[in-house]
């Protein structure tokens, strides 16, 4: 069965100016989510909406994350919670809540959406 994008996978990115591609291939900024509907602000107080499956977020793979970046953000005592398993290039995320918040705010793919073709690797596009 093919994986599907869910609102729960995107809710953590709300308020972070997450950009993505809509069904027309245009770049839009996620403004809200309700059920299986996502919203973008077209102009002040004017919103457009569509089915969440028509949105492909632009995310960074966790492989872009460096120890130095985490240390600079003050996560020196919790870095080892993030482990990278070379077999299958699979990330296992075991981290304190504030680290997860940081990863979401920087648009890291903590749900494996890129591998499941539900998100676009930000390194492959020009914004």
pLDDT digits (tens, 9 = 90+) for 29-78: 999 999 999 999 888 888 999 999 999 999 999 889 888 888 888 887 66
User: Where does the pLDDT of residue 127 fall: very low under 50, low under 70, confident under 90, or very high at 90 and above?
Assistant: confident
pTM across the whole model: 0.86
Q: Which residue has the tokens 């027309």?
A: 24
Q: Which residue has the higher pLDDT, 120 or 93?
A: 120
Residue with tokens 């492989």, as numbered in its chain: 63
In whole angstroms, give the CA distance from residue 117 to residue 109. 12
Instruction: Name the average pLDDT for the chain.
Output: 86
> Which pLDDT score is estimated for 87?
44
SS3 17: coil
H helices of 13-96, where?
67-72
- Please, which residues bridge with residue 16 across strands? none
What residues does each domain of the chain span? 7-124
pLDDT at position 58, please?
Answer: 98
Q: How much is the pLDDT for 55?
A: 96
- Cβ(21)–Cβ(56) under 8 Å? yes
């Amino acid at each position: 069965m093919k994986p599907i994008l869910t609102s729960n996978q995107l809710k953590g990115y709300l308020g972070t100016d997450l950009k993505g591609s809509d069904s027309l291939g245009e770049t839009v900024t996620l403004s809200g989510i309700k059920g299986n509907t996502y919203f973008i602000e077209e102009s002040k107080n004017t919103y457009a909406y569509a089915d969440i499956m028509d949105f492909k977020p632009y995310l960074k793979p966790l492989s872009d994350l460096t120890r130095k970046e985490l240390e600079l953000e003050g996560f020196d005592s919790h870095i080892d919670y993030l482990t990278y398993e070379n077999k299958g290039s699979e990330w296992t995320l075991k981290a304190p809540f504030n680290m997860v918040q940081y990863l979401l705010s920087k648009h890291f793919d903590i749900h494996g959406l890129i591998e499941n073709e539900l998100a676009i690797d930000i390194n492959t596009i020009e914004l």
